[in-house]
Chain A
């Protein structure tokens, strides 16, 4: 799949550029939309859990805690949400012309990743504002980002391909995403969870990613190596399996769409 994408890299670039242009054309505040969603969610959670409910979780600032969780979540949700209808909505392209089909869902992953990187810049500003001491452990953020990118890509490809066959996928994915939101420690910390449920929650790679993103930036601690190894292996195997299935069934997309 990667070799094939290399020969079509120009098309992928133009697709990303197109989605980016379309997204912010005829908008008043343009690129600021990239940080609007995560920032407003962060403020909302801070207000509800910090002011209204007055929960006491970790002993670090609420805005940091929620923003660290909201950022990877909005990236994942945005990319997969784009991907689900990306192929079925572009049926006039799929039935009229050949190009590697994964380019369309991947361009959605890419533009959401750009938004995510902008959000990360804001996150680092926030860390500075709260005088959080950064340690070298924040380097761990990069492998975690790679893992998140890979996992998001796999899920996006799978949903996009399945929705070509069954439009149920679009309907199901909307509320599955809501389920997944609560199964991911965005608004809570996994430390507060009983050990039995902890194991279940770690089946979702996002749990590991979100928890450790907080750990390596706000807490300044490193990830636990064996845990990282297992999760990374699972994510890589998932990606390999899905890309293999995708390249096989995409040949029939034009016939069934």
Chain B
């Protein structure tokens, strides 16, 4: 399985600020509208590096696990891949459609029915209305919600909610899937179904990046695991 990498990080740095009111940041952004991209590699007061000097090269069909303590920068890497936030320094290249499952059920509204929320959450994940119309039966069937799909989501149990959200997510025709601590969803039979689905994504040459504390589960599905500590990769795949 050696092909052109679909996700490439070269010496990526990301800094965050601890301050609450960011008086400087708006001014900096406005200045950069005129002067072009500019970011200093020095830390201002109250800033810290979330990740430092990260190099990654993920190939098509690979499954990469990211592990590490809270605040070690795992989620930041996923956010950088999915364009939610941008690197302070370094370059990131992503090829293909990304399905960022950083939070399940993003955009779902409690007053809307399950069916209506499939369209809401699906389009947020980057699916078109046409794709959703085509796959809607498969999604409903996978979730196992049957008749409950027609009632407002606010009446769901939390398990039902997550099952619906996960079903929408894994039916995305994306090339790259990002999972952030979302593997432990639903009961045992649903989890088994999810594992199967993940394996079928991989067999269809999809790429997966998983963030989890559960190293046992990671070893089960991942080709290689990157361990992060304080924003620095201490072991894992070579770029």
Contacts and interface: CB of A to CB of B under 8 A. Distances in A.
Q: Do A and B come from one complex?
A: yes
Interface of A: 10-11, 13-14, 17-18, 21-22, 25-26, 92-99, 165-166, 244-245, 248-249, 251-252, 254-256
B111 A97 contact: no
Interface string B98-122: 0010110011010110001001100
Nearest to B180: A96
Given A98-B82, A98-B83, A255 B30 contact: no
CB-CB nearest 6 A-B residue pairs: A96-B103, A98-B83, A11-B123, A249-B29, A14-B123, A248-B33
Interface in B150-164: none
B85 interface: yes
Q: Is the interface of A mostly helix, strand, loop or mixed?
A: helix
8 contacts: A11-B123, A13-B129, A92-B106, A93-B124, A96-B106, A97-B107, A165-B25, A251-B29
B22 A165 contact: yes
Interface string B71-104: 0000000010011111000000000000010110
A254 B126 CA distance: 18
B128 interface: yes
Contacts of B86: 251-252
Contact of B102 (A25, A97, A166): A97
Interface residues of B, number: 34
B48 interface: no
Given A21-B116, A165-B22, A251-B86, A10 B128 contact: yes
Contacts of A255: 16-17, 25, 85
Contact of A11 (B30, B85, B109, B124): B124
B106 A97 contact: yes
Contact of B33 (A21, A166, A244): A244
B29 A248 contact: yes
Instruction: Name, among A21, A96, A248, A252, the residue most crowded by chain B CB atoms within 10 Å (CB to CB).
Output: A96
A167 to B, nearest CB: 9
Given A11-B124, A254-B85, A165 B129 contact: no
Nearest to B27: A165
Contact of B30 (A22, A95, A166, A245): A245
B26 interface: yes
A251 B103 CA distance: 19
Given A96-B103, A97-B106, A248-B33, A14 B26 contact: no
Given A95-B79, A251-B86, 16 more contacts: A10-B127, A10-B129, A11-B123, A26-B111, A92-B103, A94-B84, A96-B84, A96-B100, A96-B102, A99-B124, A99-B126, A248-B30, A248-B32, A251-B85, A252-B85, A254-B84
B66 to A, nearest CB: 17
B112 A21 contact: yes
A11 B124 CA distance: 6
Nearest to A255: B85
A162 B84 CA distance: 18
B25 A256 contact: yes
Contacts of B128: 10
Nearest to B50: A255
Contacts of A17: 119
